[in-house]
């Protein structure tokens, strides 16, 4: 398993343990398209996963609101929440009544995604503070991991280019243009 996937799975497991809920997901932002995508999940069936595969900040679900507001959103009872009206059937089919969604925001303020837990009750204040700490820690670790993965990918690309250049050397690749004429002269 790649390190980013492993981290998202671990963070979700911790969030479920903190809130003592059976279901949850962790979504990461796709900056190219400006939406959240599920990176890890527990307890959901294919219909729920398809319905929430992509979440926009304009969506009325808890994770959409956390995305838009950049703060935790707790819906104690989805049946009583008017903004959740169009999603009640999805919640009923999935088997949850309550949901909390907390944004993954690093210490430097970078928004990375949202971690949500679903079940029969919302988190108490202590649990919510623990989730916020976990979310911040997870965001920091994701940034660090992505920078390492990006650095490794860049290094691998540079090595591949260097190997290709060694197979088919061109004088101007290694030396400046002024030396190219020296090597191409037939004296």
155-180 pLDDT per residue, tens: 556 556 656 656 665 555 444 444 44
Q: What is the pLDDT of residue 161?
A: 64
On whether the CB atoms of residues 16 and 22 are closer than 8 A, the answer is: yes
Nearest Cα to 12, choosing from 76, 90, 102, 147? 102
**CB-CB neighbours of 65 under 10 Å:** 24
Residue 15 near residue 103 (C-beta atoms within 8 A): no
pLDDT at 75: 92
Tokens of 44: 């959901």
Q: What is the pLDDT of residue 149?
A: 63
> How distant is the alpha carbon of residue 153 from its chain centre?
19
CB neighbours (10 Å) of residue 178?
Answer: 8
The tens digit of pLDDT for each residue in 61-112 reads 999 999 999 999 999 988 888 888 777 788 888 889 899 999 999 999 999 9
> What's the confidence (pLDDT) of residue 93?
86
Q: Check residue 89 and give its pLDDT.
A: 83
DSSP state letters, 33-48: TTEEEEEEEES--HHH
- Over residues 16-69, the pLDDT tens digits come to 999 999 999 999 999 889 999 999 999 999 998 998 999 999 988 999 999 999
pLDDT digits (tens, 9 = 90+) for 103-149: 999 999 999 999 999 999 999 999 999 999 999 999 999 988 877 76
| Res 94: pLDDT | 86
Q: Which domains does the chain have, with CATH numbers?
A: 3-147 (3.30.450.40)
At 158, list the tokens: 């540079």
Determine the Cα–Cα distance for residues 175 and 168; give it in Å rounded to an integer.
14
């Amino acid at each position: 398993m790649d390190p980013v996937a492993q981290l998202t799975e671990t963070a979700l497991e911790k969030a479920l343990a903190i809130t003592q809920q059976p279901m949850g997901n962790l979504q990461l932002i796709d900056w190219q398209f400006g939406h959240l995508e599920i990176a890890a999940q527990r307890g959901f069936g294919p219909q729920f996963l398809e319905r929430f595969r992509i979440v926009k900040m304009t969506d009325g679900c808890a994770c959409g609101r956390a995305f838009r507001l950049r703060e935790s959103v707790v819906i104690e009872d989805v049946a009583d929440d008017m903004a959740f009206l169009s999603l009640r059937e999805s919640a009923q089919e999935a088997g949850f009544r309550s949901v909390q969604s907390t944004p993954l925001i690093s210490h430097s303020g970078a928004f990375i995604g949202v971690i949500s837990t679903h079940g029969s009750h919302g988190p108490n204040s202590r649990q919510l503070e623990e989730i916020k700490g976990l979310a911040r820690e997870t965001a920091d670790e994701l940034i660090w991991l992505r920078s390492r993965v990006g650095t490794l990918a860049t290094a691998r690309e540079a090595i591949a280019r260097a190997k290709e250049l060694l197979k088919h050397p061109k004088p101007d690749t290694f030396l400046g243009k002024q030396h190219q004429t020296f090597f191409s002269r037939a004296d």
